[in-house]
Amino acid sequence: MSYHNHNQEFSLGNSKPLINREQNYVLDRKLVSVHSEDRDITKWPNSNTFEIMLPETLLNVQSMRLVQSTMPGTFFTFSNDYQNTKFKFTIGNVLKEITIQEGFYTPEQLSIELTNKMNRTINSDASFNVFYDEVKHKMWFGHTDLSFNLNFENKITYDFSNCEQQPIVWDNHSKWGLPYYLGFEKKTYHSVQDLSGLEFDYVLPSNVSGGNGVDIRNYIEAPLSFTINGDNCIYLEVDKYNSYDELYPYNESSTKTYGNNAYAGKVNSAFAKIPIRSNTDNTYDSRTLFQHNIVHYDPPIERITRLKFKFRFHDGRLINFQNFPFDFSLEFNSLRNEMDKKYNIRVPAGYVK
C-alpha cells in the first residue's frame, strides 16, 4: 500500500519512507590563458595552427567561451600565402609578369610599387605610370608611348614549397588574386589611346609623375573601386568543439559544376569569430566587443586534456601572422558535485569576536 501526494511518493510498507534524491552541482569557472609563443615551435612552426596540453585536466565541462583575444595590429594584406602578389600584362606582344613585395600598402605606396615593377620588367625608367585616383578611389594604368593589355583572365600558380598548402582562391568570386584588390575582374583589358593625354584637374602638375599625366597616351581605368585593407575578421577553430555554422563563399567552379546546389554551408565550422581592425600600430583587444560565442554541451564533456587551434579567414586561407605574437583566453565552466556539508566550528578561547 502506498500514499501519493503531489510532490513525493512514500511506501507505507517500509519503516523508512523513500525520498527522491536530488543531485546538486556548482558551476566551477576556470580561465586558461594561451599565447602563441606557448606552442611547441619545432612541431608547430606556424602560429596559425597549433596544439597545447592544458595545465590540468578539466572534467565535466558544461560550456566553453572565448572571453578575450589580443591580435596583432598589423596584418599583411598581400602575401604569397594569399595568392595576391602577382599579375600578368602584355606589351609589344610580349607577356610579362610582376610580383609585388609582401606586406600592407597605402594606395600611394601600392601605385608606386606597381609603377616601378612594371617599368623594371620592360627595362624602362618611366614609360609606365600607375596612378591612384583619390576622388574615384580607383587605379589607373598608363603608358607614354605603347598600347598594352592587362591579362587578368590568366590563372597564376603560386609556389607553396616554403609554407604550408593553402586553399586555391582563383575560383572564388572575391579575393581571387592581386587584380581583384586593384578593382578589376577576370578579363583582359586593352588600353585606350588618347593623344591629348590623361589629366586629373584636382591634382597639381607637380604632384603627378609625368606632369599631371600629360605624357600618358595609353591608359586603362579600373572598372571598380579597389580594396587593400584585407579581411575584417578571423575565424578560430577548436578541434572537436566548434559550434559556428558558416555559408561557403560563392565559388565559380562549383557553380559551373553543380549549378544552384553550389550554394551551401558547413555545420560546426568554427568556435569563435574574432573582429579585427584595419592595420594600425596598436594591438586589438576583443573585450571591447561582446563576443557571443559561448558553447554549451549536454551532456557535459567528460574530460579535456588538450586543445588544437586553427586561425583562418572565411574563405579558408590560413592566416600568415608573420611571427607577430598574439594571445587569447578561454573560459571553461565545469559541473562539480556539491554535497551538503555541515561545518562545526570551534572558536578558540583567545579569539576576540
Asked if the model's pLDDT at residue 19 lies above 80, the reply is no
Strands 218-221 and 138-143: antiparallel
pLDDT digits (tens, 9 = 90+) for 192-216: 998 777 777 777 665 444 444 447 8
pLDDT digits (tens, 9 = 90+) for 128-164: 999 999 999 999 999 998 999 999 998 999 988 776 6
**DSSP element (H, E) containing 116:** helix 107-121
3-state secondary structure of 108: helix
Residue 75's pLDDT band (boundaries 50, 70, 90)? confident
Task: Tell me what the pLDDT averaged over the chain comes to.
Answer: 84
Fold of 25-74+233-337: Jelly Rolls (2.60.120)
pLDDT digits (tens, 9 = 90+) for 233-252: 999 999 999 999 999 888 77
Strands 138-143 and 128-133: antiparallel
Asked if the model's pLDDT at residue 335 lies above 80, the reply is yes
pTM over 0.75, yes/no: yes
Q: How far is CA 269 from CA 97, 140, 241, 246, in A?
A: 37, 40, 9, 6
Is residue 324 a contact partner of residue 46, using CB atoms and an 8 Å limit?
A: no
148-151 β-sheet, strand order: 94-99, 86-91, 148-151, 188-190
* Distance between CA atoms of residues 180 and 226, nearest Å: 7
Nearest CA-CA partner of 151 in 89, 92, 98: 89
**Percent of the chain topping pLDDT 90:** 55
* Distance between CA atoms of residues 244 and 272, nearest Å: 7
Which sign does the torsion angle of CA 88, 138, 76, 318 carry? negative
pLDDT score at 211 = 43
Asked if the model's pLDDT at residue 220 lies above 50, the reply is yes
- Concatenated DSSP letters of 246-262: EEPPPBHHHHHHHGGGG
* Distance between CA atoms of residues 75 and 68, nearest Å: 19
* Distance between CA atoms of residues 74 and 280, nearest Å: 6
Question: Which residues neighbour 27 within 8 Å (Cβ) at sequence distance 6 or greater?
Answer: 62, 333, 334, 335, 336
In single-letter form, the type of residue at position 146 comes to: L
Every domain of the chain and the residues it spans: 25-74+233-337, 80-221
Q: Cis omega (within 30 of 0) on the bond before 299?
A: yes
**DSSP element (H, E) containing 15:** none
Asked if the model's pLDDT at residue 116 lies above 90, the reply is yes
Residue 275 neighbours by CB distance under 10 Å:
14
What one-character DSSP code corresponds to residue 38? G
Q: Which cell goes with 197? A: 593625354
Question: Which residues neighbour 75 within 8 Å (Cβ) at sequence distance 6 or greater?
Answer: 104, 230, 231, 276, 279, 319
What one-character DSSP code corresponds to residue 80? G
* Distance between CA atoms of residues 140 and 226, nearest Å: 11
* Distance between CA atoms of residues 51 and 304, nearest Å: 13
